[in-house]
Chain A
Amino acid sequence: MLNDMNEGKAKNKSGKIAVTSTGGSMDALVSEQFGRCQYFLIVDPETMKFEAVSNLGEQMQSGAGPKAAELIIGKGAAVLLTGHVGDKAEEALKRGGVKIINGLKGTVKIKDAINNYLSKKTEQ
């Protein structure tokens, strides 16, 4: 029972996808950095509507990664698409129940990254 409760807390029901981005639109390129990317696009895969959130972590002297994790968890992200995530951010994302898909390249557009992820997901 206790386990169920904890899981329920950690899992985000909304299923939104967060992508690290160099700009505020679906045509922008993916940012390979997590903690110090310029924007997060928080996309609802059902409607493909998105919210662009500028990342204050870019300006932080330390702790940009965990802070960015806090931000996207707060926005209800269940999945993160990005290039690379540092150790501390990874720990925070795991505790917040966010699935990490890394290894994305900065030559890919946000919309392609999302479509690619969704098509792979349905294949499985």
Chain B
Amino acid sequence: MIISVASGKGGTGKTTVAASLASVKDNCVYIDCDVEEPNGHLLLNPKIDFEEKVYKKLPQIDYNKCDFCGKCVEVCEFNALINLKFEIILFEEMCHWCGSCKYFCPAKAITDREKEIGVLRCGSVNEHLIFADGILKIGEISSVPLIKELKKKVIKEKINIIDSPPGTSCAMIESVKDSDFCILVTESTPFGLSDLKIAADVLNEIGIPFGVIINKYKPEFKEMENYLNDNMMDILLKIPFDRKIAEDYSKGILPVFNNNELKNAFAGLINNLKTTKVPEKTDV
């Protein structure tokens, strides 16, 4: 099964939750799709066995054939190409490589070339936990192609924990797509609640069942629970605001290793998901 962990806002403790979930059960795969700021490896200390480069395609213009007719510029919806009549300038980071310019060029002057956008790293934390993450090159705007490659590391027979990027961008949607269940991590502040609502809307739209973990839980902030109750969203876990957890985190120690209660709570959570959520989905 595939469980993704997401959060509307950065800094809520999403990676800690994802890494903890992957650590409390055997037979897990942890995949860090937050390729702009991969942090899971800092908490899990995996041994990396191999790396793979990931490429995106870009148009390559053959000026021996190009007559500056401007068709490629006209069909580029992203304005990644401009025509100066003596040169076609390509703004590499704006190109989504849809292939339109190549297809429509009357002079057949456009071919494609590859550009490295990042690397995938694969390895393991121990015999129970397989690890994969990706690192996007600085300046690349779209992490989607890298995330698509990363998701090929899912092993169907195992429990796959996908650590999604924060926010509700295309990268987040790409990461959580095809999950059996998504865990949204939020915190007890108005900002946390506002961003949670947006993330919940997205998951409803894509049709992924989800539940909520409230991190840095403060009972005084009642609006959070009122919202979750009114909208019949499950609260999977409340993790209290605890100095010990914050201190452990700053040292790169997963709180589940020092806190049995938390460890059992995470393990119970996965067991529940395995028994209840997946059969529901096969009914559909």
A touches B (Cβ under 8 A): yes
Q: How far is the CB of B11 from chain A (nearest CB, A)?
A: 28
* Residues of chain B lying within 8 A (CB to CB) of residue A74: 85
Tell yes or no: B170 within 8 A of A by CB.
no
* CB atoms of B84 and A96 under 8 A apart: yes
* Residues of chain B lying within 8 A (CB to CB) of residue A79: none
Q: How far is the CB of A11 from chain B (nearest CB, A)?
A: 11
The one of B84, B85, B91 in contact with A63, judged by C-beta atoms closer than 8 angstroms, is B91
Tell yes or no: B78 within 8 A of A by CB.
yes
Tell yes or no: A69 within 8 A of B by CB.
yes
In Å, the complex CA distance between A73 and B83 comes to 10
Tell yes or no: A70 within 8 A of B by CB.
yes
- Return the chain A residue nearest B82 by Cβ: A70
Interface 1/0 per residue, A54-74 and B, CB below 8 Å: 000000101110110110011
In Å, the complex CA distance between A39 and B78 comes to 21
The one of B78, B79, B84 in contact with A95, judged by C-beta atoms closer than 8 angstroms, is B84
- Return the chain B residue nearest A66 by Cβ: B82
* Residues of chain B lying within 8 A (CB to CB) of residue A60: 79
**Secondary structure at chain B's binding surface: helix, strand, loop or mixed?**
loop
* CB atoms of A63 and B78 under 8 A apart: yes
Q: How far is the CB of A72 from chain B (nearest CB, A)?
A: 11
In Å, the complex CA distance between A69 and B87 comes to 13
A69 and B82 in contact (CB under 8 A), knowing A62-B94, A91-B89, A95-B89? yes
Tell yes or no: A114 within 8 A of B by CB.
no
Tell yes or no: B80 within 8 A of A by CB.
yes
Indicate the size class of the contact surface on chain A: 10 to 19
* Residues of chain A lying within 8 A (CB to CB) of residue B85: 74
Q: How far is the CB of A7 from chain B (nearest CB, A)?
A: 11
Q: How far is the CB of A86 from chain B (nearest CB, A)?
A: 11
* Residues of chain B lying within 8 A (CB to CB) of residue A70: 73, 82-84
Q: How far is the CB of B185 from chain A (nearest CB, A)?
A: 31
Q: How far is the CB of B68 from chain A (nearest CB, A)?
A: 11
Tell yes or no: B50 within 8 A of A by CB.
no
The one of A63, A69, A73 in contact with B80, judged by C-beta atoms closer than 8 angstroms, is A63
Q: How far is the CB of B63 from chain A (nearest CB, A)?
A: 12
Interface hub of A60, A63, A91 (most chain B Cβ within 10 A): A63
Q: How far is the CB of B85 from chain A (nearest CB, A)?
A: 7
Tell yes or no: A92 within 8 A of B by CB.
yes
Interface residues in A63-117 (C-beta closer than 8 Å to B): 63-64, 66-67, 69-70, 73-74, 88, 91-92, 95-96
Tell yes or no: A28 within 8 A of B by CB.
no
In Å, the complex CA distance between A69 and B89 comes to 11
* CB atoms of A73 and B79 under 8 A apart: no
Q: How far is the CB of B13 from chain A (nearest CB, A)?
A: 33
- Return the chain A residue nearest B91 by Cβ: A88
Interface residues in B237-256 (C-beta closer than 8 Å to A): none
* Residues of chain A lying within 8 A (CB to CB) of residue B79: 60, 62-64, 66-67
Kindly list 13 other residue pairs between chains A and B, CB separation below 8 angstroms, not including A64-B79, A66-B89, A92-B89: A62-B79, A62-B94, A63-B79, A63-B80, A63-B91, A63-B94, A67-B79, A70-B73, A70-B82, A91-B89, A92-B84, A95-B84, A96-B84
10 intermolecular pairs with C-beta atoms under 8 Å apart: A62-B79, A63-B79, A63-B91, A63-B94, A73-B84, A74-B85, A88-B94, A91-B89, A92-B82, A95-B89
| B binding-site residues for A, Cβ under 8 Å | 73, 78-80, 82-87, 89, 91, 94
